[in-house]
């Protein structure tokens, strides 16, 4: 599947309000191999794409095009893909265990997501960042610095949970940005639910419920991961009080909340060196 081909299926009618400015003519020419709609999307994506990966700083730009949404998705998938690959290579995940089977299956999916998004983004692909899963030495999930197998394993599971729960929230936060491209939206939803399956299983491996209770990060999660869960405690859904039937825990568990692109980038940036 090719995302640019997806984009070309759609007329530019929906985007007619986003009129191009004369000043970006040269950039338009640079993208003239793309279809009319994808050209516009590509142009709006460039500043963020360049900026997002130039530093660890939190980006303030709003993300509002399908290409931008997918570039964010690809960055998160790069992170997850490398994390699970290194985890399996590290020997920290005990061989022959349920955890190893789980990590191997998730690793396969994250690799497939990276390949899918790279193929789809084509010209608009963003480079893979350089990651540091120790966050400057705060963690040692692959037991590279001698923290010990047991602690490394606990950190490795905790990071997986944080990444998967972030993935679920980040994809959800981008859904509206993909409405102009229904095929892309469907593909993103199909990845989104896979991340949710992963999150559920990783959480259960850690002895937690598969779903998020209030804004609790869960036992054993470092405080640094609280940003993944802030905002999950919502109990009002379109005017409906979700606590009415069974209380606030169940009411918040029954809905996952979106995460803004800015927050997702900020979380990912913790693990990005350059």
Partner 1 sequence: MKKHSVKVSLSDSQPFQAGATNRRQFIKLGGASLAIGGLLLAGCEDDDEMTPTNPTDPDEDTVFDLGSGDVGVLNYAYALEQLEADFYTRVFNNFYTGITAEEQQVLTDLYYHEVIHREFFKTAITAAVSDSSLVLPELEFDYGDLDFSNRDAVLATAKALEDTGVAAYNGAGRLLSNPDYLLIAGKIVSVEARHAAAIRSLINPDSDDFAGDDVVDPTNGLDVALSPADILPIAGGFITTEFTANNLPTS
Footprint on this chain of partner 1 (rule: CB under 8 A): 1, 98, 101-102, 104-106, 108-113, 115-116, 168, 172, 175-176, 179, 182-183, 185-187, 189-201, 204, 209-211, 237-240, 242, 244-246, 250-251, 253-258
Least Å distance between CB 188 and partner 1? 9
* Minimum CB distance to partner 1 smaller for 143 or for 258: 258
Least Å distance between CB 173 and partner 1? 9
* Minimum CB distance to partner 1 smaller for 76 or for 140: 76
Per-position b or e across 232-250, b if 16+ CB within 10 A of its CB:
beebeeeeeebeeeeeeee
Distance between alpha carbon 188 and the CA centroid of its chain, in Å? 11
Least Å distance between CB 273 and partner 1? 26
* Minimum CB distance to partner 1 smaller for 20 or for 211: 211
Least Å distance between CB 200 and partner 1? 4
| Selection from 198, 135, 142 nearest residue 168 by Cα | 198
| Long-range interactions of 44-49: CB distance < 8 A, separation 24+ | 44/18, 44/68, 45/71, 45/124, 49/124, 49/126
**Residue 13, both tokens:** 């009618």
* Minimum CB distance to partner 1 smaller for 57 or for 204: 204
* Minimum CB distance to partner 1 smaller for 43 or for 196: 196
| Selection from 46, 112, 48, 44 nearest residue 265 by Cα | 48
**Residue 26, both tokens:** 């040269």
Least Å distance between CB 86 and partner 1? 19
User: Residue 237 forms beta bridges with which residues?
Assistant: 240
């Amino acid at each position: 599947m090719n995302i640019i081909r997806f984009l070309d299926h759609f007329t530019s009618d929906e985007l007619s309000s986003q009129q191009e400015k004369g000043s970006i003519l040269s950039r338009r020419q640079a993208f003239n191999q793309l279809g009319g709609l994808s050209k516009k999307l590509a142009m709006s994506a460039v500043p963020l794409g360049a900026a997002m990966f130039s530093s660890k700083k939190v980006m303030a730009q709003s993300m509002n095009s399908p290409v931008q949404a997918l570039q964010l998705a690809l960055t998160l998938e790069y992170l997850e893909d490398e994390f699970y690959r290194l985890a399996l290579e590290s020997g920290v995940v005990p061989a022959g265990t349920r955890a190893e089977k789980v990590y191997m299956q998730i690793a396969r999916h994250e690799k497939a997501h990276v390949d899918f998004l790279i193929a789809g983004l084509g010209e608009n692909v963003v480079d893979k960042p350089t990651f540091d899963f120790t966050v400057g030495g705060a963690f040692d999930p692959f037991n590279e610095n001698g923290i010990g197998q047991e602690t490394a394993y606990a950190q490795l599971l905790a990071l997986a949970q944080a990444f998967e729960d972030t993935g679920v929230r980040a994809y959800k936060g981008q859904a509206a940005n993909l409405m102009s491209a229904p095929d892309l939206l469907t593909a993103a939803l199909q990845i989104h639910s896979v991340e949710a399956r992963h999150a559920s299983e990783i959480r259960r491996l850690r002895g937690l419920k598969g779903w998020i209770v209030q804004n609790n990060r869960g036992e054993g999660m470092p405080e640094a991961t609280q940003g993944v869960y802030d905002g999950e405690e919502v109990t009002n859904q379109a005017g409906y009080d979700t606590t009415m039937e069974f209380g606030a825990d169940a009411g918040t568990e029954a809905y996952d909340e979106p995460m803004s692109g800015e927050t997702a980038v900020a979380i990912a940036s913790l693990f990005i060196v350059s």
